[in-house]
């Protein structure tokens, strides 16, 4: 609050809210987005305290309890609330530890895609000409191929594994970040404040990073939140196809791949990992939608 | 118009070259020597190695190799599978109808449910139905479809015993392929029960593959409808006393469908991505399952050719959508 505002006579209209307060006002009005945020925070905490929360280590096998059903079903026990898998590992513990892997995948992929995407987008937006055409054509090619197919090809080249699967997903999602950054840069560079900065002798790098980039943040934050869900989903699909995280990793997609052959006799080994993927992806999508509407309230109306 | 079409085709050429480069380098980026990779774990002696290098032209400069590769591709020669020794193009052509049949069923499923759901949600904005449609479509959009397929198998095949678990048709029928679409071929064959069997095998894969397009189409139809319903000409039509049905079905829908058609065109990529997973779950003998098997067997020529062919299909469909869009909407045509 500025001094003028407090010394001003009591206004008939309420005092203008700060940008953060206003943002939160729009965001919290969207119940879905708040629910998404709550779930995302819960999953983050689960991942952070996985060692404390999980009743067993994720890889601990117990040969006495193969394919034990969940506690509420006949034959289940509260020692293994969500049952055990085919080699007697506690499913709940594996899901809790899996949250770590999935969040790591989602966040690492998006972080890398944002860094590379911003760099390429800034270069394309500022350089124009041949460089721009080369970058954008390359992004078009990536967008033309079905995303999972391209990811599969990259994994086939690099070899299966969590790291390579993550790199493959980065390449697949990269074009979105490059396009958003470039579009934002082109809009922003035509504005007066950039001309003013340029006239006062700001270097190209300063223009890029201190002037233009902060003003492109909103669409990038929205894309990042939606991007985490895409990354988790794609990495899980690769894990399911046997091309992502390798067993015995407790990645949710890999757990599903292991569970596939037991679909006919043990519903719980198939149901819970997929449910976790669905809920986590849904939460990030709700959060992303909420952020987009809150950043751009005009769009919503 | 001709100029518009030619520009569009011109834009596709660099993409095509890029895809051939990707397919070409695919086999060369695999760690290790391609001949040793092809020979697999058995290993290979030095003389045979040199002979094979020469045979495949791998001893020439990379640019020359790429030239030879392009020449072959343009003549329809995509190499042979290392496992079956069949030409890649022939294998692809034999399996592709199965994927197309599934993809067509999925997109029809998505349209038949998604467009009406989107329209009703828009007309009854903020009703329970609207919230329901939006909730379901967001869930569908977030759905890991490989899990969704397993759940449906659990419910409909294991618990209820209504639908088969895998394949395209019961093994007791042998249907002569005429169109490659098994439902059509089963009808043509006149064998009793064959058509029924083919359809029952299609149901679950169709739902699984159609889920994401359904979610996207329902959302898109709703938002396009909402935009159009706010236009002045709709208010005019209402003010003239036209029935609500007439206003929605005739006046609003026509304009609302334009963005929806674009979105439908863009689903081709989504469908192929989904087909890879759906075919793997249901052992559906299409190109998606074929490619995954090629990876597991390290059958690089199949992977190389398959990626290029699928990329070409997507590119061609996108081009057709662009051109159709230009025909329907003259503003787009003039803008470019």
Say what the pLDDT of residue A11 is: 47
Say what the pLDDT of residue A1 is: 41
Task: Give the rounded distance of the alpha carbon of B176 from its chain centre.
Answer: 25
Minimum mean pLDDT range among A137-151, B39-53, B55-69, B130-144: B39-53
**Chain B interface includes A107 (CB < 8 A):** no
- Residues B305, B208, A280, B141, CA torsion sign: positive
Give the one of B153, B273, B277 whose C-beta lies nearest to A263's C-beta.
B153
C-alpha closest to that of A36 among A237, A256, A292, A219: A292
**CA atoms of B126 and B118, how far apart (whole Å):** 13
Query: B142 and A273 in contact by Cβ < 8 A?
Result: no
Q: Given a cut of 50, is residue A31 above it in pLDDT?
A: yes
Which residues in chain B have their CB less than 8 angstroms from residue A289's CB? 138
Distances (CA, A) of B15 to A131, A140, B27, B71: 16, 7, 19, 17
User: What's the pLDDT tens digit per position in A203-239?
Assistant: 888 888 887 888 778 888 888 888 899 899 999 999 9
Residue predicted with more confidence, B35 or B206? B206
Give the one of A144, A264, A271 whose C-beta lies nearest to B315's C-beta.
A144
Specify the DSSP element, H or E, that contains A119: helix A91-127
The 8-class DSSP code of residue B80 comes to: B
Average pLDDT of chain A to the nearest whole number = 84
Say what the pLDDT of residue B334 is: 66
Q: Give the best residue of B26, B130, B138, B142 to mutate against chain A (max A CB count within 10 A).
A: B142
Say what the pLDDT of residue B41 is: 62
Residue of chain A minimizing CA distance to B18: A141
The token pair that represents B32 in the structure block: 């290790």
The token pair that represents B94 in the structure block: 């034999």
Name residues whose C-beta falls within 8 Å of residue A29's C-beta, 6 or more positions apart in sequence: none
Q: Given a cut of 60, is residue A298 above it in pLDDT?
A: no
Our CA angle for B271, B273, B277, nearest 5°, is 105
Which residues in chain B have their CB less than 8 angstroms from residue A236's CB? 144, 146
Which residues in chain A have their CB less than 8 angstroms from residue B151's CB? 270-271, 274
Q: What is the mean pLDDT of residues B28-43?
A: 67
**Sequence-distant contacts of A209-216: CB under 8 A, at least 24 apart:** A212/A122, A212/A184, A212/A185, A212/A188, A213/A118, A213/A122, A215/A184, A215/A188, A216/A180, A216/A181, A216/A184, A216/A185, A216/A188
Say what the pLDDT of residue A301 is: 42
Q: Given a cut of 50, is residue A255 above it in pLDDT?
A: yes
Q: What is the mean pLDDT of residues A27-35?
A: 84
Say what the pLDDT of residue B33 is: 66
Name residues whose C-beta falls within 8 Å of residue A19's C-beta, 6 or more positions apart in sequence: none
**CA atoms of B21 and B236, how far apart (whole Å):** 55
Q: What is the mean pLDDT of residues A45-69?
A: 83
Say what the pLDDT of residue B66 is: 84
End-to-end CA distance of chain A: 29
**CA atoms of A196 and A204, how far apart (whole Å):** 13
C-alpha closest to that of B116 among B229, B206, B225, B267: B225
pLDDT category of residue B38 using cuts at 50, 70 and 90:
low
Say what the pLDDT of residue A300 is: 46
Q: Given a cut of 50, is residue A2 above it in pLDDT?
A: no
The 8-class DSSP code of residue A210 comes to: I
ipTM exceeding 0.85? no
Minimum mean pLDDT range among A163-167, A236-240, B169-173: B169-173
Q: Given a cut of 80, is residue A134 above it in pLDDT?
A: yes
Say what the pLDDT of residue B335 is: 60
**CA atoms of A117 and A123, how far apart (whole Å):** 10
Residue of chain A minimizing CA distance to B37: A157
**CA atoms of B150 and B145, how far apart (whole Å):** 9
Q: What is the mean pLDDT of residues B290-305?
A: 84
Which residues in chain B have their CB less than 8 angstroms from residue A140's CB? 15
**CA atoms of B226 and B222, how far apart (whole Å):** 6
- Nearest-Å Rg of the Cα atoms of chain A is 24
Our CA angle for A196, A200, A201, nearest 5°, is 120
**CA atoms of B185 and B178, how far apart (whole Å):** 6
Say what the pLDDT of residue B42 is: 64
Q: Given a cut of 70, is residue A51 above it in pLDDT?
A: yes
Which residues in chain B have their CB less than 8 angstroms from residue A235's CB? none
User: What's the pLDDT tens digit per position in B219-264?
Assistant: 999 988 888 888 888 888 888 888 888 888 888 888 888 788 878 8
User: What's the pLDDT tens digit per position in B114-134?
Assistant: 999 999 999 998 899 999 999
The token pair that represents B3 in the structure block: 């100029």
Residue of chain A minimizing CA distance to B299: A156
Query: B277 and A159 in contact by Cβ < 8 A?
Result: no
Query: A282 and B139 in contact by Cβ < 8 A?
Result: yes
Q: Which residues of A82-108 are buried (b: 16+ CB within 10 A; e: fewer)?
A: bbbbeebbbbbbbbbbbbbbbbebbbb
**Which DSSP string corresponds to A37-98?**
HHHHHHHHHHHHTHHHH-SS-TT---TT-TTPPPTTSTT--TTSTT-B-TTS-BHHHHHHHH
Say what the pLDDT of residue B107 is: 93
The pTM of this model reads 0.84
């Amino acid at each position: 609050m500025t001094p003028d505002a407090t010394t001003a006579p009591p206004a008939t209209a309420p005092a203008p809210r700060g940008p953060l307060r206003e943002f939160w006002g729009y965001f919290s009005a969207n119940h879905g987005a708040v629910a998404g945020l709550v779930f995302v925070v819960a999953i983050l905490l689960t991942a952070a305290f996985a060692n404390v929360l999980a009743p067993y280590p994720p890889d601990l096998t117990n040969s006495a309890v193969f394919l034990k059903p969940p506690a509420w079903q006949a034959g289940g026990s509260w020692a293994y609330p969500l049952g055990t898998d085919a080699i007697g590992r506690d499913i709940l513990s594996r899901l809790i530890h899996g949250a770590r892997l999935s969040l790591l995948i989602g966040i690492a992929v998006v972080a890398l895609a944002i860094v590379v995407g911003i760099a390429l987008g800034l270069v394309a937006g500022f350089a124009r000409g041949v460089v721009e055409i080369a970058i954008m054509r390359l992004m078009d090619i990536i967008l033309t191929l079905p995303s999972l197919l391209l990811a599969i090809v990259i994994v086939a080249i690099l070899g299966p594994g969590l790291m390579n699967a993550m790199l493959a997903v980065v390449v697949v999602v990269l074009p979105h970040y490059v396009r958003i950054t470039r579009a934002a840069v082109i809009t922003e560079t035509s504005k007066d404040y950039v001309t003013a900065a340029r006239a006062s002798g700001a270097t190209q790098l300063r223009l890029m990073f201190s002037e233009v980039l902060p003003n492109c943040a909103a669409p990038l934050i929205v894309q990042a939140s939606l991007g985490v869900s895409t990354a988790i989903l794609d990495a899980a699909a690769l894990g399911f196809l046997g091309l992502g995280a390798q067993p015995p990793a407790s990645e949710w997609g890999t757990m599903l791949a292991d569970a596939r052959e037991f679909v006919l006799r043990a519903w719980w080994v198939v149901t819970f990992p997929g449910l976790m993927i669905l809920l986590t992806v849904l939460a990030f999508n709700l959060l992303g939608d909420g952020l987009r509407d809150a950043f751009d309230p005009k769009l919503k109306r | 118009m001709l100029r518009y079409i030619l520009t569009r085709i011109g834009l596709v050429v660099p993409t095509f070259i890029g895809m051939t480069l990707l397919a070409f380098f695919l086999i060369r980026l695999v760690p290790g020597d391609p001949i040793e990779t092809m020979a697999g774990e058995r290993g290979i002696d030095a003389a045979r190695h040199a002979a094979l290098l020469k045979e495949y032209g791998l001893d020439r400069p990379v640019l020359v190799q790429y030239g030879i590769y392009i020449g072959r591709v343009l003549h329809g020669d995509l190499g042979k599978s290392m496992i079956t020794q069949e030409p890649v193009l022939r294998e692809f052509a034999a399996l592709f109808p199965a994927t197309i049949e599934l993809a067509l069923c999925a997109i029809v499923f998505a349209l038949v449910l998604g467009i009406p759901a989107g329209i009703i949600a828009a007309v009854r904005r903020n009703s329970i139905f609207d919230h329901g449609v939006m909730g379901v479509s967001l869930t569908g959009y977030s759905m890991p479809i490989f899990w969704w397929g397993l759940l449906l198998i659990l419910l409909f095949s294991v618990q209820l015993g209504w639908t088969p678990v895998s394949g395209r048709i019961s093994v007791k029928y042998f249907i002569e392929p005429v169109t490659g679409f098994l439902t059509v071929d089963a009808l043509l064959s006149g064998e009793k029960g064959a058509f029924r069997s083919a359809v029952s095998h299609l149901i679950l894969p169709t739902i699984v593959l159609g889920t994401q397009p359904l979610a996207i189409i329902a959302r898109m139809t709703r938002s396009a409808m909402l935009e159009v319903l706010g236009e002045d000409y709709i208010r005019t039509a209402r003010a003239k006393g036209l029935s609500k049905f007439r206003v929605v079905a005739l006046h609003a829908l026509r304009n609302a469908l334009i963005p929806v058609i674009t979105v439908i065109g863009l689903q081709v990529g989504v469908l192929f991505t989904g087909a890879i997973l759906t075919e793997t779950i249901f052992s559906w003998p299409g190109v998606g399952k074929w490619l995954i098997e090629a990876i597991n067997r390290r059958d690089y020529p199949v992977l190389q050719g398959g990626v290029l062919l699928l990329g070409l299909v997507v590119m061609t469909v996108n081009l057709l959508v662009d051109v159709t869009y230009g025909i329907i909407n003259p503003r787009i045509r003039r803008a470019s």
